Structure 1
Amino acid sequence: MNYLVAVFPDRIMAEEAYTALEKKDIKSTILGRGYKSADEFGLIDPKEQAKKQAKFMSYWLVPFGFFAGFAFNLITGINTFSWAGEVGNRLIGGLLGAGSGALGAIFVGGGVGLVVGGGDALPYRNRLDAGKYIVVVEGVDSAKRETTRILRQLEPENIQGYAAE
């Protein structure tokens, strides 16, 4: 499915674009105050994606960190806490390794999710937060030229085409 996204500065311009497209039997959707929200339309929230990515990475990084910390203490024989004994030091090493794995999941998983999770959704969310309106046209390539021509006549702030995978 292909999408054509146009950003308009106010509600009147967005409604004018919607009406012009409707006259040509082109289905479109308006996003903004009083219309669909970004969440209702399905724009990905990068913060949610970052949380999901961090949680996913923690499933394998925390256990791996525990075993790595345990093995490191076993190999080196470091006696950091004399009160804990030999087995206690190995368990503490494992817990510290698990903590390191959790931090890695948060920083790497969350950071990657925040950077690449949103794609172009974040700029569009920011524009909606700034009070602008977005007209989204879902359709096939054959109607794309006519749709672009109609929207360009109304002079949107931005117009962008996307091909959904």
Structure 2
Amino acid sequence: MRWSSVETTAEGPKPMGLCVAVLLKDTGSRSELKALLDGQPGLQLREVGTGGTEPEEVVELNPALQRQARQRQMATWLLPFGFGAGMVFTFITNLDTFAFAGPIGQPLIGGLLGLGSGWMGSYAAAASVTSDRDDQIRVVRNRLNEGQCVLMIDAIQSDMVPWALIQRCRPASVVRLKDD
């Protein structure tokens, strides 16, 4: 795998702005397209399926991984706010539900309960959002199951994708998976 003009972090490459799946008819077309795109600045190429990355490992093709990422992102906001809301609620209501914990422990328990509510809310919010790209993902996964070759092209900007080079290989189809 080759990274060109792409910043990487400890977890791997930085998220890109555009992801395109090119469905090719055979492995010869995939090799030809890889050779044409190799060396293009700002592009990251990933082979998916036969001889490449498994589709379950590719975030753009796996709704479960997308949902997990949304849940983690939601949790970073909802957990602290839930904790703060639980503490504030305990202070402003003057309820002595947890009187055994004392004046310091009572708001802390309220904060922990709010923290738990934020955690549960992050799961509920992440599960309730459906992807608007489910149809495109389904098309790509069906083609992978049929044994077609798929080459994922990640680019920082859509104008960096060499559309003319991609069309020279006569792909079966080109599916845009992610626009940021």
Q: Distance in 2 between matches of 1:137 and 1:82?
A: 58
RMSD: 4.2
Q: Distance in 1 between matches of 2:67 and 2:112?
A: 25
Q: 2:131 aligns with which of 97, 115, 118?
A: 115
Partner residue in 1 for 2:77: 60
More helix by share: 1
Partner residue in 1 for 2:163: 141
Q: 1:18 aligns with which of 12, 19, 29?
A: 29
* Aligned residues of 1:61 and 1:104 also touching (Cα < 8 A): yes
Correspondence 1:99 to 2:110: no
Higher alpha-carbon Rg: 1
Q: Distance in 1 between matches of 2:56 and 2:124?
A: 29
Shift of 1:32: 2.7
Correspondence 1:75 to 2:92: yes
TM-score normalized with structure 1 length = 0.59
Q: Distance in 1 between matches of 2:111 and 2:99?
A: 16
Shift of 1:92: 2.0
TM-score normalized with structure 2 length = 0.56
Q: Distance in 1 between matches of 2:110 and 2:117?
A: 10
Q: Which stretches in structure 2 are left out of the alignment for 5+ residues?
A: 1-17, 38-44, 154-160
Partner residue in 2 for 1:160: 174
- % identical aligned pairs: 27
Q: Distance in 1 between matches of 2:21 and 2:105?
A: 61
User: Which amino acid in structure 2 is aligned with residue 160 of structure 1?
Assistant: V
Correspondence 1:5 to 2:16: no
Shift of 1:75: 0.5
Aligned residue pair count: 146
